[in-house]
């Protein structure tokens, strides 16, 4: 039997060769760090289900933002845990609400050295934990929620956010937010639309992180995990309404969707490596079942390989420093 003339192994023989022919790159600017800020906290509070992740105080979030910038991460996505919640989620659009104060603090600390993003949703601010205003029978009122999102978008822009991220999966949310921003003189604020957000089991630790008070579930507005063509429709609508970037959430269980979206649109595509994905790798590594650093990097490279231009990940600073 003749020896093979084609030997793909020639291109794997050394680290230098593998770098030279590598098809997918992972650089610090591809990473966005989600950060939680707890109103009234005097020191960082660990999130039990997410080892290494904390609810920041006003002081520690400033410090962490500077560290992220020094590591070279591409952006920061801010979430807040308010001391008080109500049925309307009014803290979300209160100029002195927890998230808007956090935006001002972070922007005043890092300015334009990184992209400061803010999650635009009511779930952190409602006492029922849903992403919108409820009707008397307990359903989420889509159009009433859009009015709240308009107010929230303007409040975040006035606090200094460079990007707002409508994440509630309400029909028409991007158009409503774009109109509100433009009408208030904030045409330069970009929208990262959570265009494809599945009703996933992998959000559990996140709800721990934001101290969610959710009753029931979000299946009437978040997407069915069985559907992919529906994702294309959602993205098309968001881009038509003015989304500057679109996101798929979660990431690892939906890499096929990331690829479909990347092929379908000409705007940047993000993917969110969510809390459950993070916690699974951390738990397996803590038990000695996997090589933690290799698993972390492999998971991120897979998301990039699928087509994501940017990745929201809780490992952003750690990985950026290593890179």
List the catalytic residues. 197, 249
- The token duo for 136 is 């008397």
CA separation for the pair 69, 57 (Å, rounded): 18
- Per the DSSP assignment, residues forming a β-bridge with 120 are 166
At residue 322, the 3 state secondary structure works out as helix
At residue 101, the 3 state secondary structure works out as helix
In Å, what is the CA distance from 90 to each residue of 87, 93, 146?
8, 6, 13
Which among 62, 64, 161 is positioned nearest to 105, based on CA atoms?
62
Count of other CB atoms within 10 angstroms of residue 32: 27
At residue 95, the 3 state secondary structure works out as coil
CA angle 74, 151, 162 (to 5 degrees): 20
């Amino acid at each position: 039997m003749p020896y093979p003339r084609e030997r793909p192994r020639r291109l794997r023989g050394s680290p230098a060769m593998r770098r030279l022919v590598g098809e997918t790159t992972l650089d610090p600017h591809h990473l966005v760090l989600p950060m939680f800020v707890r109103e009234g906290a005097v020191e960082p509070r660990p999130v039990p289900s997410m080892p290494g992740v904390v609810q920041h105080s006003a002081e520690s979030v400033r410090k962490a933002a500077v560290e992220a910038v020094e590591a070279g991460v591409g952006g920061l996505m801010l979430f807040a845990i308010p001391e008080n919640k109500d049925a309307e989620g009014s803290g979300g659009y209160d100029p002195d609400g927890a998230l808007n104060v956090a935006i001002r603090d972070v922007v005043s600390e890092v300015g334009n050295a990184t992209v400061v993003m803010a999650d635009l949703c009511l779930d952190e601010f409602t006492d029922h934990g849903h992403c919108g205003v409820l009707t008397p029978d307990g359903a989420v009122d889509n159009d009433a929620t859009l009015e709240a999102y308009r107010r929230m978008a303007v409040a975040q822009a006035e606090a200094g956010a460079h990007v707002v991220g409508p994440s509630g999966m309400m029909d028409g949310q991007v158009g409503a937010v774009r109109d509100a921003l433009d009408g208030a003189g904030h045409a330069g604020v970009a929208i990262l639309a959570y265009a494809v957000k599945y009703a996933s089991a992998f959000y559990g630790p996140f709800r721990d992180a934001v101290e969610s008070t959710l009753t029931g579930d979000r299946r009437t507005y978040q997407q069915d995990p069985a559907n992919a063509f529906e994702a294309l429709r959602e993205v098309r609508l968001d881009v038509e309404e003015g989304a500057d970037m679109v996101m798929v959430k979660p990431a690892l269980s939906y890499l096929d969707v990331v690829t479909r979206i990347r092929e379908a649109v000409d705007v940047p595509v993000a993917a969110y490596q969510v809390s459950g994905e993070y916690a699974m790798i951390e738990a397996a590594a803590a038990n000695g079942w996997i090589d933690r650093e290799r698993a972390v990097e492999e998971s991120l490279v897979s998301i990039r390989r699928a087509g994501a231009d940017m990745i929201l990940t809780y490992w952003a600073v750690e990985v950026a420093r290593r890179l």
